[in-house]
Amino acid sequence: QVQLVESGGGSVQAGGSLRLSCAASATLFFWNSVGWFRQVPGKEREGVAAIYTNGGRTAYADSVKGRFTISHDNAKNTVYLQMNSLKPEDTAMYYCAAGRSGRWNGLRLGEYGYWGQGTQVTVSA
């Protein structure tokens, strides 16, 4: 059974920081795209950041560029999302996802076939 486990969510004041972690099997993260997506009730899920674990290619949504950083630790089979200068509009459920095919997917949501359960991030003004 494929399993991605997110952690690190919580509540923080605007301007603060959080680091999300996503752990999964080595097989799933080997030469694959891993992305962070977020969703608020009533809105579509949107891409936040993605990384290709072979080479470190990254992509970011315009709304988070310069504030969020995605990285991976192959030894720990973990992908991180460092979130700085958080804003109230960053409040959402954050999901980690892995690609279906082992190709670079960027933030194309439909190319991700394996999903975690999500971790809530709440930013207060």
For residue range 34-63, list pLDDT tens digits in order. Answer: 999 999 999 999 999 999 999 889 999 999
Question: What was the pLDDT predicted at 55?
Answer: 87
Residue-wise DSSP of 64-95: TTTTEEEEEEGGGTEEEEEE-S--GGG-EEEE
* Helix/strand/coil (H/E/C) assignment for every residue in 4-17: CEEECCEEEECCCC
Report the pLDDT value the prediction gives residue 12, as an integer from 0 to 100: 98
d(CA 33, CA 15): 29
Q: What is the pLDDT of residue 1?
A: 65
Residue 26: the pLDDT is 83
Amino acid at 58: T
Q: Answer whether 17's CB lies under 8 Å from 9's CB.
A: no
Bridge-based pairing state of the strands 119-124 and 112-115: unpaired
Mean pLDDT of 12-36: 94
Cite the DSSP H helix spans in 17-124: 26-29
Residue that has been written with the tokens 């504030």 in this structure: 67
d(CA 115, CA 118): 8
Q: Which amino acid is at 38?
A: R
- Write out pLDDT tens, residues 56-107: 899 999 999 999 999 999 899 999 999 999 999 999 999 999 999 889 999 9
